[in-house]
Amino acid sequence: MNKTTLWQLRTEIVLNSLFMSDYQNSFGFTTQSVLEFFDGYMSYLEELMTEDGVSDSDVCTVLDKYDTVGNLWAWWNMYDINPLEKEE
């Protein structure tokens, strides 16, 4: 996985959605593994916002500032193994 491919996956899903169907993707990854990966990514972004002093009420308005290729790549690199499972 490289930055470009990872960001393409990001653009196919609805970040922070509660619906499994919003994590379906053209890369052949299971919706469950994509949901779990991006739930973790969302938590990571919330931690970054907290460190920067963003209040809970402002999270929705500043999310675009934090949802970036660089932050997504940093989150990806926290894994030792590929967290995304392929469909069988």
Q: What is the pLDDT of residue 60?
A: 79
For the whole model, what pTM was predicted? 0.93
What residue type is assigned to position 48 of the chain?
L
- Could you report the per-residue pLDDT of 29-86, keeping only the tens digit for each? 999 999 999 999 999 999 999 999 998 788 878 899 999 999 999 999 999 999 999 9
Q: What is the pLDDT of residue 19?
A: 97
Instruction: Please report where in the chains the tokens 């002093």 appear, as a residue.
Output: 53
Helix (H, G, I), strand (E, B) or coil at 15: coil
Query: Across the chain, how many H-helices and E-strands are there?
Result: 4, 0
Total Cβ atoms within 10 A of residue 8: 13
